[in-house]
Structure 1
Amino acid sequence: MIEKHQIVGVVLAGGKASRMNFKDKALLSLGEIPLIEHVIANAGSQVGSLVISVNRNPEKFRYLGLPLIADFDQAYAGPLVGICSALKWMIARGAEPGSSYLACFPADVPWFPENLVQSLCHAIEPANVKVAWTKCNEQVQPLFSVWALDCLEMIEDEIRQGFYGPKLIMPKFDNVLVSFDQSEAGYFLNINTRENLLLAQKLIEK
């Protein structure tokens, strides 16, 4: 059984935010607090420790009191580089392959199930796989995923070949896709545009 202390969570906030006029999406206000604080509040209770993957304006994120990780190479290339950088960070701090896992949370998706990581981890062991990822209402959510630390070398190889997102490379890994019900209206709502942000605000105000 994978225990919480074996899991590091990474909030992926390293993108350019080009669809938000290059403003830090993670710091946009939703219900009077920054978007990323919604993510941290939910993610933090599901993992043993939490870090933030961020490339631009890291000083704006220091108030959160969490370790900040910049992309080790090819900043802004895509979320797979952020995942790879977090795995490298874990190894540098003594995490051991075979018993350590990385749970990923996009910084622009404030609401997701409170048992998300637990459900993904429960699926990994009986299936004897290295990666578990998420689906809701037939929509795949590849950034909500748990990766065994053993995946690092393969991920590095994929990045060298020009792959920067997890969805396209997932079939190359032993993986399991875990389905979740849309039990809450806002689950997996991606705040990519101003319209998405307004919709999220309306959900909070209900």
Structure 2
Amino acid sequence: MHTTREQITGLVLAGGRGTRMGGVDKGLQPLHGEPLAAHVLRRLAPQTGALLISANRHADIYAALGATYRATVIPDTLPDFAGPLAGLLAGMRAAGTAYLLTAPCDSPWLPADLAARLTQALDANHADIATVTTLDARGNASLYPVFALLRTALADDLAAFLAAGERKVRAWYARHKTVEVVFTDERAFYNANSLQELADLERDRGPG
């Protein structure tokens, strides 16, 4: 059975500390005159039904950013910035759909066919999780685990994993049937981890 857009809730992950950017709220840093998270919301919105924003700071600003897309802001249920899995868990608990599509707030060029390709792979392989890998010109692979389509029914298992003190995304994925979908455009998944990388993005208009 084919998964439809209405069965997918989108989640923008904006709940981190932004340590490598000096502790700033990464999703609110400007790119081409708009916050990074606004670019991600714009690209994610046509691919999903409902939208959520995982944020542990500046909830009012994120709510204003998400208003155009009727996005709901949700905080982590775990304290002390417990990492992306905590954001995934909050999203899975808040979603009223069978699937959650996640993307980080600092990747403004995510593909317009991200949901379609992950959905196709998840359905075809009867998988629980579909995530992204890229191949460069030399055939070297890079995994982007926070770009993922997940079954929200996995929430209890993820909660138990986190309760045991585990935090690694790939380690949790390994507990479930996960399929990696190959994308050839690495630039679509470029993320700004530092102010220098954000400056580099500012000079580049993106992949099209």
Q: TM-score, normalised by structure 2?
A: 0.90
How far has the Cα of 1:205 moved from its partner? 8.4
**Shift in Å, 1:41:** 0.7
2:155 corresponds to: 152
Matches of 1:43 and 1:205 in 2, distance apart?
A: 16
Amino acid at match of 1:146: L
Q: Distance in 1 between matches of 2:113 and 2:206?
A: 24
Percent pairwise identity: 27
Give 1:105-184 correspondences, 5 Å limit: 105-137=103-135, 138-182=141-185
Q: Which amino acid letter does the alignment assign opposite residue 177 of structure 2?
A: D
Structure 1 Cα separation of the partners of residues 121 and 206 of structure 2? 35
* Residue 72 (1) aligns with residue 54 (2): no
Structure 1 position 164, deviation (Å): 2.1
Q: How far did residue 33 of structure 1 move? A: 1.0
The alignment covers a number of residue pairs equal to: 197
Structure 2 unaligned regions, length at least 5:
136-140
> Aligned partners of 1:60 and 1:150: how far apart in 2?
30
Q: Secondary structure at the match of 1:109?
A: coil
Deviation at 1:67, TM superposition (A): 0.7
Equivalent residue number for residue 16 of structure 1: 17
Quick one: distance in 1 between partners of 2:179 and 2:48?
A: 20
Alignment partner, residue 104 of structure 1: 102
CA distances 1:24-51 after superposition (whole Å, capped 9, x unpaired): 1111111111111110110011101111
Deviation at 1:2, TM superposition (A): 0.2
Q: Is the 8 A contact 1:13 1:54 kept in 2?
A: yes
Can you list the C-alpha shifts for 1:114-151, whole angstroms capped at 9, x where unaligned? Answer: 10111001011121111000001211000000001111
Q: Is the 8 A contact 1:8 1:48 kept in 2?
A: yes
Question: Quick one: distance in 1 between partners of 2:206 and 2:117?
Answer: 29
Shift of 1:60: 1.9
Counterpart contact for 1:123–1:176, Cα < 8 Å: yes
Distance 1:126 1:188 in 2: 24
Kindly state the Cα deviation for residue 109 of structure 1 after the two structures are TM-superposed: 1.0
Q: Which runs of 4+ in 1 moved over 6 A?
A: none
Residue 186 (structure 1) shift: 3.1
Contact 2:109 2:206 in 1 (8 A): no
SS in 2 for 1:156: helix
CA distance in 1, matches of 2:149, 2:82: 21
In 1: Cα distance, 2:50 partner to 2:94 partner:
13
- Report the AA paired with residue 129 of structure 2: V
Root mean square deviation of aligned Cα: 1.5
